[in-house]
Amino acid sequence: MTRTALTAVLILVLCALLRIGLVDRHGLWGDECFSLAMATGHSLEHPADRADPAFGDFVEEPGAVAPAAYSRYLEHEIPPAGLRRVLRAVFLSDTSPPLYYLLLYGWTLALGTGDAALRLFSILWALATFPIIWSLGKRLGGEAAAAPACILFAVSPLCIFYSTEGRMYSMLLFCTVCMMWLTLRLWDRGANAARFILWVTASAAGLLTHYFFAFVWIAAVFWLQLYPGRFPRKLSGASALLTALLVLPWYIHIPESLSQWRVTGDWLTMRRDDYHPITTPLSLPWRFWTYPSMEWMLGGSRSLGWIKAGVFLLLAVATLRKLSWSLFSSSRSLLWIWLLSPCLGMAVFDLVRGTYITAETRYALAGMPAAFLLTGIGLGSLGYRLRAIFIALIALLCLIGVRGFYQADHRSYQNYPEVARLLAQEVTDSDLILVHSVPSVVAGLARYLEKAGASETGVRFASWVGQLGQRRVPEDLEALAAGQRRIILVTTHDVGEPAPEQDWLEDHATLLETKQIYAATLRYFTPRGSHRFFRP
């Protein structure tokens, strides 16, 4: 084995180990539970009056039930639902295209719907991305750039976080780098049937994985029109048209799908406290390295962010001295367009739609590989010793963030297995667990309660999804809690929905204690003047 091949293998092993170590370390959070619901053909976000139990749609049970009645939304039915059910669930509930869920459907049929199985699907897409990053680095900066770019891909905290997320982001990265690799191949060597078909396939797959793939896809088409190389403009236009025709059967229904009411449909219009209309969009490319909401994972110190900024500033100066304008050559200009296109596209989207998606770095992830490649090219231009020093510094700072993942006992400030274990130890058949949240979290908590053995105690479980408008106080509280000694109200991930049941209980019952497990608040209520709630 050559030294280059050995280096690639070692970096790939590091890439795999850093991700596999996290596969089952934390419980699923709400969005990951949502992925399982879609892949098993269960719609969660539809209006209550459109729910059809025959199609596995989420329905709030009128009375308290065993947790299994809600955890089933994250499992395959017997016999399993078909692919049409998956498409229907995505159409009704999600604002993303269906390809990821269709592939996850087959994956979970084969390997099950466990936490590790879900996340391994994402990890495999990330590992499949690795050799393409290497090839792009070698093409644009030589072997000296390929290894640094892949090291950055391997150790980046943001990349590791979303490579182990049970969502479509790893698959999005894979489709993006494939499409860009083929773009350069067509530019270098011209069109043949195989390259043409593969480019169209990668493009269509990306557009059917995430709608914001369109930003980098448009950037690639624009670049090919600007610098056609050996791929004539007519052919690049024809390939773009063919791609559009392939995705049209789904995309033609986007207006109808996006116009539908959803339980969490308003969350993109919720302004974050740290949002700024100018600095937030401008900071998107930099957030590929220092994701602000992950500061707790970087040792809890802003000083590390400043250190990292200093290291990258010095690297930028050294790179510009070495490469000068060659950093913006025709082929490398593709990287700059690739990096900036999702950031610009998201900023325009915010202006047009009145949303705040530029505050969510994950929606710009399609541009992240370009950041690694540009940095790799810069590192590859330096002398061996200086390059090694910079790589060591950047990798060390990144691994501090990765260490935070391993030390944390939650994901996205949600630890539903711990909530479930605590409740399973405390509840009896005279208790009601009432969950005020969105359907995906209701199903997720029920799932972990089942795993913790809460059903064996005969505990009663109920959901309170305020957005559905199905519950009333005190009538539904009486139906759910009649004869119970305690109500344990769990409020978490409510997406800004008020909790009138909590207000009523605070006014008419006794609050014994409150417990906080990250984003979940547990309030223990007992009746006033009686041993049981709502006794005649």
d(CA 69, CA 61): 8
Q: Give residue-wise pLDDT tens across range 401-411.
A: 898 899 999 99
Q: What are the tokens at 457?
A: 């105690």
Q: Give residue-wise pLDDT tens across range 157-174.
A: 999 999 999 999 999 999
- Residue 422 or residue 297, greater confidence: 422
3-state SS track over 441-494:
HHHHHHHHHHHCCHHHHCCEEEEECHHHCCCCCCHHHHHHHCCCCEEEEEECCC
The residues with which 414 forms a beta bridge, in sequence order, are: 411
SS3 call for 74: helix
Instruction: Say what the pLDDT of residue 256 is.
Output: 93
d(CA 162, CA 214): 19
Q: Which contiguous run of DSSP H or E holds residue 527?
A: strand 520-527
- Total residue length of the chain: 536
d(CA 141, CA 25): 37
d(CA 213, CA 172): 7
Instruction: Say what the pLDDT of residue 65 is.
Output: 96
SS3 call for 510: strand
Residue 187, pLDDT > 70, answer: yes
Categorize the per-residue pLDDT at 300 as very low, low, confident or very high, splitting at 50, 70 and 90. Answer: very low
d(CA 214, CA 96): 12
Q: What are the tokens at 521?
A: 């608040």
Q: How far is CA 158 from CA 29, 59, 150, 279, in A?
A: 17, 36, 14, 20
d(CA 107, CA 120): 10
SS3 call for 412: coil
Residue 474 preceded by cis peptide, ω within 30: yes
d(CA 87, CA 102): 8
Q: Give residue-wise pLDDT tens across range 413-429.
A: 999 999 999 999 999 99
Give percent above pLDDT 70 in the chain. 97
Instruction: Say what the pLDDT of residue 204 is.
Output: 98
Categorize the per-residue pLDDT at 301 as very low, low, confident or very high, splitting at 50, 70 and 90. Answer: low
Q: Which contiguous run of DSSP H or E holds residue 8?
A: helix 3-20
Q: Give residue-wise pLDDT tens across range 104-138.
A: 999 999 999 999 999 999 999 999 999 999 999 99
Give percent above pLDDT 90 in the chain. 84
Q: Give residue-wise pLDDT tens across range 425-453.
A: 999 999 999 999 999 999 999 999 999 99
Domain positions in the chain:
3-40+75-407, 416-527
d(CA 237, CA 292): 39
Residue 93, pLDDT > 60, answer: yes
Instruction: Say what the pLDDT of residue 297 is.
Output: 43
Q: Residue 369 contacts by C-beta under 8 Å, 6 or more apart in sequence?
A: 129, 133, 136, 153, 173, 176, 177, 180, 338
Instruction: Say what the pLDDT of residue 442 is.
Output: 98
Residue 157 preceded by cis peptide, ω within 30: no
Instruction: Say what the pLDDT of residue 293 is.
Output: 41
Q: How many CB atoms lie within 10 A of CB 77?
A: 12
Instruction: Say what the pLDDT of residue 214 is.
Output: 98
Q: Give residue-wise pLDDT tens across range 16-55.
A: 999 999 999 999 999 999 999 999 999 999 999 999 999 9
Instruction: Say what the pLDDT of residue 473 is.
Output: 95
Range name among 206-210, 408-412, 433-437, 508-512 with the lowest pLDDT average: 408-412
Q: Give residue-wise pLDDT tens across range 468-497.
A: 999 999 999 999 999 999 999 999 999 999
Amino acid identity of 529? G
Q: Give residue-wise pLDDT tens across range 350-383.
A: 999 999 999 999 999 999 999 999 999 999 999 9
Phi, psi of 516 (to 5 degrees): -120, 125
Q: Give residue-wise pLDDT tens across range 49-76.
A: 999 999 999 999 999 999 999 999 999 9
d(CA 230, CA 232): 6
Strands 520-527 and 486-491: antiparallel
d(CA 147, CA 149): 6
Range name among 76-80, 89-93, 239-243, 530-534 with the lowest pLDDT average: 530-534
Categorize the per-residue pLDDT at 276 as very low, low, confident or very high, splitting at 50, 70 and 90. Answer: confident
Q: What are the start-end ranges of the H helices in 327-432?
A: 330-353, 368-380, 384-407, 416-426
Residue tagged 């499409």 (tokens): 179
Q: How far is CA 313 from CA 79, 288, 309, in A?
A: 57, 15, 6
- Tell me the average pLDDT of the chain: 93
Angle, in degrees to the nearest 10, between helices 330-353 and 213-226: 140
Instruction: Say what the pLDDT of residue 273 is.
Output: 80
Provide the greatest CA pair distance for the chain: 84
Amino acid identity of 388? A
- Residue 273 or residue 454, greater confidence: 454
Angle, in degrees to the nearest 10, between helices 115-141 and 143-155: 160
Instruction: Say what the pLDDT of residue 536 is.
Output: 60
Q: How many CB atoms lie within 10 A of CB 432?
A: 23
Strands 460-464 and 486-491: unpaired
Range name among 300-309, 325-334, 358-367 with the lowest pLDDT average: 300-309
DSSP labels, 256-314: HHHTS--TTTTGGGPPPTT--TTHHHHTHHHHTTS-GGGGGGGTT-HHHHHHHHHHHHH
